Amino acid sequence: MDSAAQLVALASTAVYAAGNLYARVGLVHSTPLVVTLISLIVQTVVAGSILMARGSTPSVDPRALAVFIAVGVALPFVRWLSYTGIARIGSARSSSLRSTHPFFSAALAIAFLGEPARHNIMLGTLLIVTGIFITCWDSQDARSDAKALDALFPLSAAFFSGIIHPFTRYALTITNEPLLYAAVVGLSSLLALGGYLLITGRGKRMVWPHPRALRSFISASLFETFGFLLFSAAVSLGPVVLIAPIMATTPMWVLIGSILLLRDLEKITLRTAIGSCAVVAGTILLTVNG
């Protein structure tokens, strides 16, 4: 059963990576806000359709439902930060920085919950900080219009994810319904973003993307949604201690995909590869109990 969970988790990382690559292609012709909206529409439709096809809606604890809705309200901002990072510094560098969310979770747990700083956490933190430094340095050299502050977009997304993920795990221990979670989060996210666009008037100024970008965005959104469903299935098949290190390798798939498929869009340097490897190694150390 554990081997099946690991294989499903590995498939999830590849699917998530494909979503990043498709988003990078589409962002050449459109904006992060547009792909954020499309991704939430796709997640809501896909998760909601699968949930309805099951024939019955599972019961949910009110505490878990409150967390699901709260995560949904925050998700549009986190996704916008992630997609802005991809647009500004590229999918390989952005994915590497975005994957550092376990670092922020560990730092918050040590600072506010008094958890001990074990050796693997300290070494993992050192590797992640080193990888972040190399990646931020490389992002300025790789693009003439890149700015040092552009790295803050994926890092901010990682920070907020580091806060959100522990609450999500808590809610799913109360109500272990990942599909319901995906559907509720998608719907509440869509409502939150729709309200923002309506109140600010940005919805009227939003330009619908070029057909080429629309196809890329829909593909990216489908991959992201199915990546989440595969991850949920992996967690249901095996323990998190086996799944988390595998999920931490997602930036390596993005890096390989960028080298093979996005040579015209991204300049992948040796520093990019070294920074990504350092972040992945550090993240794996943080997710291993020791």
| Contact between residue 60 and residue 182 where contact means Cβ atoms under 8 Å apart | no
Res. 46: pLDDT tops 80? yes
Dump pLDDT digits (tens) for 60-89: 999 999 999 999 999 999 999 999 999 988
CA–CA gap between residue 255 and residue 263 (Å, rounded): 11
State the pLDDT confidence band at 289, using cuts at 50, 70 and 90: low
Dump pLDDT digits (tens) for 221-240: 999 999 888 887 787 677 66
| Dihedral over Cα of 5, 105, 27, 130: its sign | negative
Average pLDDT value for residue range 242-267 = 82
| Contact between residue 255 and residue 276 where contact means Cβ atoms under 8 Å apart | yes
**Other residues' Cβ atoms within 10 Å of the Cβ of residue 201:** 9
**Strongest mean pLDDT among 60-74, 90-104, 126-140, 193-207:** 60-74
Query: Tell me, what DSSP letter sits at residue 208?
Result: P
How far is CA 205 from each of CA 34, 200, 216, rounded to the nearest angstrom?
Answer: 11, 10, 21
Average pLDDT value for residue range 188-209 = 89
**Other residues' Cβ atoms within 10 Å of the Cβ of residue 266:** 22
Write down the mean pLDDT value for the chain.
84
Lowest pLDDT segment from 90-94, 115-119, 283-287:
115-119
Q: What percent of the chain has pLDDT over 70?
A: 92
Burial of 149 (0-12, 13-18, 19+ CB in 10 A): exposed
State the pLDDT confidence band at 259, using cuts at 50, 70 and 90: confident
State the pLDDT confidence band at 137, using cuts at 50, 70 and 90: low
pLDDT value for 163 = 86
